[in-house]
Amino acid sequence: GQSLEQPSEVTAVEGAIVQINCTYQTSGFYGLSWYQQHDGGAPTFLSYNALDGLEETGRFSSFLSRSDSYGYLLLQELQMKDSASYFCAPHSGNTPLVFGKGTRLSVIA
Amino acid sequence: ETGVTQTPRHLVMGMTNKKSLKCEQHLGHNAMYWYKQSAKKPLELMFVYNFKEQTENNSVPSRFSPECPNSSHLFLHLHTLQPEDSALYLCASSSTSGAANEQFFGPGTRLTVL
């Protein structure tokens, strides 16, 4: 079977750093994707990790540890516009993505 | 237009109505998806089409009927829905339905069933 865990809500201060964790159990695991969704908007792709380690894209970084079935999304220099829901989604073979319930990030002044 | 478009953006229907949701992608992709997003629940995959062939049906009730006439268009036909079917219905596409392919989502159709 598959399971996916990420915190339901996180609050952080503008300019700070926040880490959103994701643990998963997926047979035939290939890699882990992250998506962002603003209220009323569509999910948009942020990153994909197939190998262990940190992938950096501007203010956002994503980390994967395959042996721990764990990943995280790191957001630096938080801005108000980063307030959104963030979904981790493990890939398994040729089956489509499985999305978790998402983490709602609130950035406060 | 570019990307993935969905029409209508909002739909209110009675339980005895028949309506259809439309999705169109202008990205040259070969896989298209329907998702349901309800409040406080994960994105639920409903259907997957890869090269116009349905490859996934996630135990979706028969009152939802997908149609994929070509790789660029996807429809979701709705019939005798229930109030609990009220949700945001999202369409997505990717180059194929395989592992690491980034999915591009449309803006969604907000459906309310009375």
Nearest chain B residue to A40 by CA: give it: B107
How many beta-carbon pairs under 8 angstroms link A with B? 51
pLDDT of residue B99: 54
Q: How would DSSP label each residue in B23-73? A: EEE-S--SEEEEEEE-TTS--EEEEEEETTEEEEE-S--TTEEEEEEETTE
Instruction: Give A57 to chain B, closest Cα distance, Å.
Output: 16
In angstroms, the CA B60 to CA B42 distance is 15
State residue B98's pLDDT score: 62
Res B4: pLDDT: 95
Min Cα distance A18 → chain B (Å) is: 22
pLDDT at residue B102, rounded to an integer: 86
**Over chain A (109 residues), what is each successive 10-residue block's mean pLDDT?**
87 97 90 92 92 94 96 98 95 74 94
Asked if A31 and B99 come within 8 Å (Cβ–Cβ), the reply is yes
Give the residue-averaged pLDDT of B90-103: 80
pLDDT confidence band for B43 (50 / 70 / 90): confident
Rounded to an integer, the average pLDDT of B74-89 is: 95
pLDDT of residue B46: 93
Residue A94 in tokens: 């040729």
Residue B95's pLDDT is 86
Question: Given a cut of 70, is residue B100 above it in pLDDT?
Answer: no
To probe the interface with B, which of A27, A64, A97, A98 has the most B CB atoms within 10 Å? A97
| CA torsion through residues B6, B78, A88, A100, sign | positive
- pLDDT value for A21: 97
From chain A, pick out residues whose CB is under 8 angstroms from the CB of B41.
Answer: 101
What average pLDDT does this structure show over B49-57?
A: 83
Among candidates A4, A42, A45 on the partner chain, residue whose Cβ is nearest the Cβ of B108 = A42
* pLDDT of res. B34: 95
Give me the phi and psi of B85, to 5 degrees please: -80, -5
**A90 against B76, higher pLDDT:** B76
Residue B40 has pLDDT above 90, yes or no: no
Which residues face A48 on adjacent strands? A33
pLDDT at position A96 is: 67
Rounded to whole angstroms, the Cα distance separating A101 from A34 reads 12
CB contact under 8 A, A96 and B97: yes
CA distances from A86 to A39, A62, A68, A82, B33 (A): 11, 12, 21, 10, 20
Residues on chain A touching B3 (C-beta within 8 angstroms): none
For residues B94-103, one letter each, b for 16 or more C-beta atoms within 10 angstroms of the residue's C-beta and e for the rest, the string is beebebebbb
Determine, for residues A42 and B106 on separate chains, whether the beta-carbon distance falls below 8 Å.
Answer: yes
The model's pLDDT over B20-32, given as tens digits with 9 standing for 90+, comes to 999 999 999 999 9
The pLDDT, as a whole number, for residue A95 is 65
